[in-house]
Structure 1
Amino acid sequence: MTTWDEHAAQLADTVTHPRSRWRDAIRATPRHLLVPRWWHNDLTGTLLLDGPTDPHRWMRAAYSDTTLVTRLGSLHADLAHPDDRPPWWPSSSSTLPSLIVRMFRHARPETGQNILDVGTGSGYGTALLCHRFGDQHITSVDIDPYLTATARERLADIGHKPLIAATDATGPLPDTYDRIIATVSVPRIPAPWLAALRPGGRLVTTITGTSLIIGADKTPDGGALGRVERDWAGFMGTRHGPDYPPRLMHQFPHARDQDGDDITTGRYPVLDIAEAWEVNTQLTLAVPGIETHFETDGDDRTAYLLHADGSWARAHGHWTDAPTVHQSGPRRLWDVLERIRHKLNIEGSLGLYGYRVHIEPNGRCHISQGGWTAVIE
């Protein structure tokens, strides 16, 4: 039977170049011990998987370049009963290893630097950092006390003892750092991150609701300058309590069957917006706080756009047919989406990757290129 270190070596072959400085860390880290149980979702629904009871599947899952979901809503896989079938709303995971390594590369960490890992999760990313830079230089934070306590115990079992703290990562931080690397997304850059970043330090994060990875270096005024990386990623958003607040879909039941104030025929077929990363990114920048929802019934598709200001839109159509669109509230959300899709069709791309980023000390983030600017605040 193939041993775990042989599986880890195969994973390293998959996600790193032979001369990568992250290669040894992946080969030396027993990911399976950090993720003994996880949630799986397929056409049959949600299923709890237990590694020790199926070692072959455990090794195959732990050492594949795959995200393993470890928490749904407020229910940890570690604490769940085999018959539990919670809704598929992931709230913590062990991120796919290739993405963790990409985020670390964007941060450009160096030996001797103090590094903050935002979003402990299973502790796998923390373990990679510890292997390469030493436990004494690594701090990891997560809002979930169970996750931090469990990661601390499991990391100690494999020989790592970084500082791990249960705290809201968007608030005051335990220390100051040369690098801040977030594998959770934020709706805006937290001002405490800038305050905790040492002179010349660098932060890397993603913006909630977008595929944007922002890498920025601290400036003498307490802000930061950088770029939208020529790369993309999507992470779960930061939360400030035991679980995320209810989705807006629960607050807008009328959006499912009520006629809108405006009823029109859409220009483009119904789209699963969350899976169209460029479109979703531009929509989030245009309407911060917007939520999307998508359903299918055979070839019939329905998409919803919702906002806390009371605006909602529903578009229903058959496959590639033009949909019927209902809209209500102070803003016509589907109109905003169609303008974005029209621009994409004309120009072939919505840009943003490689654009300049200027972050003020209070966290207000300006993304610009030429005469175009978007502000995230």
Structure 2
Amino acid sequence: MAGDDWRTHAEWLAGKLAEPRSRWWAPIAATPRHLLVPRWWQRGGGSWSLREGADDAEAWMHAAYRRTTSLVTQVGPLHADHASPGDRPEGRPASSSTNPWLVMQMYRFARIHPGHDVLDVATGSGYGCALLARLLGDAHVTSVDIDPYLVKAAGRRLDALGLRPVLLTADATGPLPGGYDRIVSMVGMPGVPASWLPALRPGGRLVTTLAGAPITITATKDDDGGAWGKVEHATAGFMAARSGPDHPADTPLPADTAEGENVRTGRYPVIDLDRSPELAATLFLAAPGIHHGYDEDADGVRTAWMVHADGSWARATGRRGERPVVHQSGPRRLWELLDGIRHDWVADGYLQVYGATVRIDPDGTAHFARGRWRATLPPAG
């Protein structure tokens, strides 16, 4: 888009995300997000198609400056920058420019102020990094990403905007460079990495979501090397952190799941866990690393399944409101675990996960507690 026409859109976005006197208003209003995402993938008709911003300036502005729109930049191993118009990649999104509302939610949870040194985990398009650099100054912002291309492309585009924060290719679950007042993750982590607390200064604050669960953790570092915090009342999630060129694969269901070692009638009807954040979050903390799915056929028959890397799996089938037939196998009975959580939900009217306190040990082990409920999550890495 020629000239400064984009500024109208950026200022509109700033007005949606921040009050006029907020310290964040000016960084949002001054950042041309569209230049950081010149190409992206759009889902439609069951497949992904490439969008080229320069081909339709109006659509580019509409996509780039919407408050709650994440722009998918990579599907499977194919980044939009390297794609041809006829490409139809298969797989799951592996990188994106996170929607601005969620970026700001994470930064507000982090309580970032001028003078802080911030580690931005998952550079992505560089948009969040740009906001940080405008607020804090280049020297106070370090951003890491596992993907060398993302780091290179973001660096080039940020440089064109006059922004030069420190960008590094690194695995955020491994050793981290330097010391920080804030660590904010824009990817879902399997747990709190063991390297984070040593890199966080006393009184520093970390903010992360968990991969596979709608959980946001905020915590402040103590003098003893651990941290205290809580599970925020927020259900947003991010793509899972990856260690290679593609999104990490879910644990697949075993090829033969016809019967299983245990067949029974479930206590409660089949439910889509993606529509019940409290249940999904509590189940994840009861069995970290669990994956789940859901489907409803044309006849209204619902099927839900769960699988864990320890070899446990469960599949439940039934109609709305009916007790399902459940097939299970492996060292744990995953559906019975879910039914137990649902029983607590029915008995108490709510689950304990949101608002729970979190104690993080120096090695990253996280201990959750609220009322009688307890859970422990091992560190990532």
State the TM-score, normalized to the length of structure 2. Answer: 0.93
Percent identity at matched positions?
A: 51
Show the counterpart of 1:286: 286
The farther-off stretch of 331-340 and 17-26 is 17-26
Q: Deviations over 1:255-284 (max 9, x none)?
A: 3xx122222233333222133211111111
Letter in 1 for 2:311: G
Aligned residue pairs: how many?
Answer: 374
Matched, 1:305 2:294: no
The answer to whether the Cα contact below 8 Å between 2:209 and 2:237 also exists between their aligned partners in 1 is yes
Post-superposition CA distance 1:306-355 (Å, at most 9, x none):
01121111122334443322111221111111222222233222122222
Amino acid at match of 1:34: L
1:200 aligns with 2:235: no
Cα distance in 2 for residues equivalent to 1:295 and 1:329:
22
1:136 is aligned to: 139
Deviates more, 1:123-132 or 1:53-62: 53-62
Contact 2:219 2:227 survives alignment (8 Å): yes
Q: Deviations over 1:21-51 (max 9, x none)?
A: 2121111111111111111223442222221
For residues 69-98 of structure 1, the C-alpha deviation after alignment (integer angstroms, 9 at most, x for no partner) is 111121111112222222341111111111
Name 1:277's counterpart in structure 2: 277
* Deviations 1:193-234 (CA, angstroms, capped at 9, x unpaired): 111111221111112222221111111111111222232321
After TM superposition, the structure 1 = structure 2 runs for residues 1-377 of structure 1, keeping only pairs within 5 Å, are 3-65=5-67, 66-249=69-252, 252-255=254-257, 258-298=258-298, 299-377=300-378
Q: Distance in 1 between matches of 2:31 and 2:302?
A: 43
SS at match of 2:245: coil
Rate the CA distance shift 1:168–1:92 in 2: closer, same or farther, 3 A: same
SS at 1:232's partner residue?
coil
Q: Indicate if the aligned counterparts of 2:41 and 2:51 stay in contact, CA closer than 8 A.
A: yes
Alpha-carbon distance change, 49 to 268 in structure 1, aligned in 2, over 3 angstroms: farther
Give the Å deviation of 1:371.
Answer: 4.0
List gaps (5 residues or longer) in structure 2. Answer: none
CA distance in 2, matches of 1:238, 1:367: 22
Q: Is the 8 A contact 2:93 2:247 kept in 1?
A: no
Instruction: Give per-residue Cα distances to partners, 1:129-176, cap 9 Å, x unaligned.
Output: 011111111000000000000000011111110000001011111211
Retained in 1: the 8 A contact 2:92–2:247?
no
For 1:315 and 1:84, how far apart are their aligned partners in 2? 37
Secondary structure of the structure 1 residue equivalent to 2:197: helix
Paired with 1:295 and 1:80, the residues of 2 have a C-alpha distance of 31
Taking a change above 3 Å as real, the CA distance of residues 149 and 329 of structure 1, as seen in their structure-2 partners, is same
CA contact (8 A) 1:41 1:88 kept: no
Q: Distance in 2 between matches of 1:174 and 1:102?
A: 25
Query: How high is the TM-score relative to the length of structure 1?
Result: 0.94
* Alpha-carbon distance in 2 for matches of 1:303, 1:372: 25
Structure 1 distance, partners of 2:62, 2:265, is 47
Is this contact kept in 2: 1:46–1:88, CA < 8 A?
no
Shift in CA distance, 296/370, structure 1 to aligned 2, threshold 3 Å: closer
Look up the equivalent residue of 1:317 and give its one-letter code.
G
The farther-off stretch of 158-167 and 74-83 is 74-83
Letter in 2 for 1:329: G
